[in-house]
Structure 1
Amino acid sequence: MINRDDLGSWLEGPKIEREDGDWPGRRLGLPETGSHSLAPAWRRLLGLLVDWFLCLAIANLIGSSNPFLAPGLFALEHFLLVSTLGYTIGHRIFGIEVRRLDGHVPGFAKALIRTALVVLVIPALIFNRDNRGLHDLAAGTLILKR
């Protein structure tokens, strides 16, 4: 019989069988826990929701009936903040940041790739063993705890 422990929680991210002493980010030289370890899926999701609802609120305040205004604001916010600061407002609230593999802020080219794939949604929902989404793999970035 299958129980809840077999399935895990969707907030925990994908369940991947790991060898003893293995953790997400180990192959990248990242610590298992603490500062500069890979951010868990729940922080990423909540940060994304904060950013989305903030952009939705701004679009509603503007009062436009254009259905692309909120997604456009979201893409603009994500691109500008990630490329220059390494985090969005939602990321900052939940203590996470976007970095290149060498630890620097992504910059314009990587942030543009990442933003385009985040806006498409599906690439951000597909993870690898290190809990990096396709958008992070394509851009060469990771989301770390601050």
Structure 2
Amino acid sequence: MARAGRRIAALAIDWALAYAASALFFSRDGFVNGIATTAIFVALQIVFIPTIGGSIGHRLVGLYVVPLTGGWVGPWRPIVRSILLGLVIPALVWDSDQRGFHDKVAGTVLVRG
């Protein structure tokens, strides 16, 4: 299972990418639209988890998102996981295995590759 340091680094990379895209396309008068940033972040998660096995941040720090049952993560798990992650609160609730609530609900686990 992935430890907190790599998770936080991956999250920071993904938020930075979403913020940069939001600043490029949705900023007005020097202010970046927070809703657009969150939507871009969630969209990036939904697109890249099933296609490359994790978000861009995950892959850069050597992590993968996999289902607990093994095999391909499929299309619905990234959607559920990413929407909950975008809400932030579920991601802050961890169990003893260091799995976030968003991973528990989606039936996924973040592992080192």
TM-score, normalization by structure 1: 0.70
- Code of the residue aligned with 2:68 in structure 1: it is L
> RMSD of the TM alignment (CA)?
1.3
Alpha-carbon distance in 2 for matches of 1:63, 1:111: 25
- Code of the residue aligned with 2:4 in structure 1: it is A
Match of 1:96 among 48, 60, 63: 63
In percent, how many aligned pairs have the same letter?
37
Unaligned runs of 5+ in 1: 1-37
2:26 and 2:36 in contact (8 A); partners too: no
Q: Structure 1 residue 46 and structure 2 residue 13: aligned?
A: no
Alpha-carbon distance in 1 for matches of 2:3, 2:72: 20
Corresponding pairs, count? 109
Q: Which has the larger radius of gyration?
A: 1
Name the stretch that deviates more: 96-105 or 131-140. Answer: 96-105
Q: Which position in structure 2 is the counterpart of 1:61?
A: 24
Alpha-carbon distance in 1 for matches of 2:71, 2:8: 23
More helix by share: 2
Query: Which runs of structure 1 show a deviation greater than 3 angstroms over 4 or more consecutive aligned residues?
Result: 63-67
Q: Which position in structure 2 is the counterpart of 1:34?
A: none
Q: How do 1:99-138 and structure 2 match up within 5 A?
A: 99-138=66-105
